[in-house]
C-alpha cells in the first residue's frame, strides 16, 4: 500500500472502529484518537479522488507552514456521539488539539454530504485571524454554492484559498 493510501485508510479505519465500539459497547468506551500526522484531510465518507485529496492536503500544509495555522478537513457520515454539527466540530477541535503548536492555532472544517451540513470551527486564538463572520461568509458564498452543484472539491479547495487570503 502506498504511504498516502495507508494513512488515509488507517485514519478512516481507526475513526470508524472507535466510533462503532463506542456505539455498541457501553461498558467499554474508547477515546477518539487524532488522525495520523502529516494528513490534514480525514474522509470518513470518501468524497474526494486520490488526486483531489492530495491537492487539499498540499494546500493545508502550505497554509500551516507559511501562515502558522493548522487546518483539518473532516468529511463525515454521522455526528455520533453528538447531535449537532457545531458541537461535533468544536469537540473534534479540542479532542484532537488542532493548532496547539502553531502561532495562529487551528481550525476544522467538518461537513457531511449525507446529512447536508457544514461547520467551520476555530480555536480562541485563530478567531483573531478568522472570525465567525469570515467563516459564515466562506460557507455561504463559496462552499454551499459549490456543494449544491456536487462540486465538493471546489467548495473545499476554494475555501482554503479564501482562508489563506484572509489570514495573511
Q: Is 68 exposed, middle or buried (0-12, 13-18, 19+ CB in 10 A)?
A: middle
Q: Is 5 exposed, middle or buried (0-12, 13-18, 19+ CB in 10 A)?
A: exposed
Instruction: Please state, in angstroms and rounded to a whole number, the distance separating the CA atoms of residues 8 and 30.
Output: 21
Read off the pTM: 0.85
pLDDT digits (tens, 9 = 90+) for 62-92: 999 999 999 999 999 999 888 999 999 999 9
In this prediction, residue 46 has a pLDDT band, given cuts at 50, 70 and 90, of: confident
Amino acid at each position: 500500500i502506498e504511504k498516502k493510501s495507508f494513512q488515509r485508510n488507517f485514519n478512516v479505519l481507526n475513526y470508524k472502529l472507535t466510533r462503532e465500539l463506542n456505539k455498541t459497547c457501553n461498558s467499554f468506551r474508547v477515546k477518539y484518537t487524532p488522525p495520523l500526522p502529516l494528513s490534514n484531510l480525514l474522509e470518513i465518507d470518501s468524497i474526494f479522488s486520490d488526486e483531489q485529496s492530495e491537492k487539499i492536503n498540499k494546500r493545508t500544509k502550505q497554509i500551516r507552514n507559511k501562515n502558522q495555522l493548522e487546518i483539518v478537513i473532516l468529511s463525515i457520515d454521522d455526528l455520533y456521539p453528538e447531535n449537532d454539527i457545531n458541537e461535533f466540530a468544536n469537540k473534534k477541535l479540542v479532542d484532537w488539539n488542532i493548532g496547539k503548536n502553531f502561532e495562529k492555532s487551528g481550525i476544522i472544517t467538518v461537513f457531511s454530504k449525507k446529512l447536508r451540513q457544514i461547520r467551520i470551527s476555530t480555536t480562541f486564538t485563530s478567531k483573531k485571524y478568522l472570525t465567525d463572520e469570515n467563516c459564515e461568509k466562506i460557507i455561504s458564498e463559496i462552499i454551499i454554492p459549490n456543494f449544491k452543484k456536487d462540486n465538493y472539491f471546489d467548495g473545499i479547495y476554494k475555501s482554503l484559498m479564501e482562508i489563506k487570503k484572509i489570514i495573511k
